[in-house]
Structure 1
Amino acid sequence: MQRRSPAPPLWAFVPYITVSAIHVVLLALGSPAAGPSKLLLMPLLAIPVLVSVRAIRSRAALALLFAAIVFSWLGDSVGALFPDAPEVPLMLLFFGIAHLAYIALFVRRVGVRRMPWWALIYAAWWIAMLVFLGPQTGGLLIAVAVYGLVLGATAAFSTRCHPLVAVGGAFFLASDTLLALRLFLPDSLPAWSNPAIMATYTIGQGLIIAGALITLRKRDA
């Protein structure tokens, strides 16, 4: 009997890739349609996971994948869902939970190797970001420091996983770094930074999900 391919079907990623590209272009053009298109990203990224449900035996791994996607969507949707709430603290909360779900996934479910020594670069990133951004964060310093620690940990633990996950973790961190600069040092970034933030974000999320699904499906093939 022919074994199933460990890779999730490529067609399942096509809607996410397509809408991600459209969203980045809309941002670059300054179109008001960029906002609604952003709300579609994470639901579309859930499609490959849904398609893989029957091929993955670990319910815990699936729960962590869905949790990361759902809380990422909430982070993307703060402005639309909670227009009267403080945006930055809610973003930190929702994305922080999403990152914790990814960390648990990388550590307990999809890790395939020990963390390489060069992952220490992410500790250096955290220190540099605190030194550079700390004076600009005001009352959010502790929250930003904790959130930055979670971000760095996500990227560091991603290095234990499939190469797609490791690259995705780096892109995700690049996106969060640009976002932090835009929030706290807006004059330091060029006009194209907003599309760059979302381009690196969507690439990072997509690669993480793809690599995690390949690992999980391969184990259960």
Structure 2
Amino acid sequence: MTARFIPLQPTLYPVIVAFFVAVFLISNILATKGVTIGPLITDGAFFLFPLAYVLGDVLAECYGFKAARRAIFTGFAVTLLAVVSFYVAIWLPAADFYESQPEFAHVLGLVPQIVVASLAGYVVGQLLNSWVLVKIKQRTGEKSLWARLIGSTVVGEFGDTLLFCVIAAPVIGITTGGDLVNYVIVGFLWKTLIEVLLLPVTYAVIGWVKRREGYAS
């Protein structure tokens, strides 16, 4: 008797989704740390999270809104599973020889308000980013890739940053209106600037994926 298996489809989509989900999951842990760099107020995920939008652009541009939406909801589900797992692990009684329970709980015991802020900002921002990119592409076709990448980034990053900051600010320690405005503006401008600077990389990745997937312009 010959063993049978389900054949894998030769596509890069699951690999891109895996990196997309990993970036979001790691960013959620890093974002619990407030960071001050000179006059700038941000969080520990400021240098990594923009990559999620680059990968989101690749997914939306190459595979369409439905495929991007599936990746977004996959990231949401995986992060929710991680948070529940963290709390279960914290709740389990520590062994007598384990001396790092307070540190373990402090690092992985993500504050519920941070989790809600992150998940809400992520879903709204990424859906806006993908939707706007696809809508612009429907009007421009294959032309003006830069316009849909920047346009979708501005809309998606603003929605994400605003929602996250408003919900998470009190937990991080931001209590004044001025600091909140600083947090929102700096986060939005920084993430948007990073994506603009990464446009050549995004262009190269999109071109490579399209060639590998046999995409016809």
TM-score normalized with structure 2 length? 0.30
More helix by share: 1
TM-score normalized with structure 1 length? 0.29
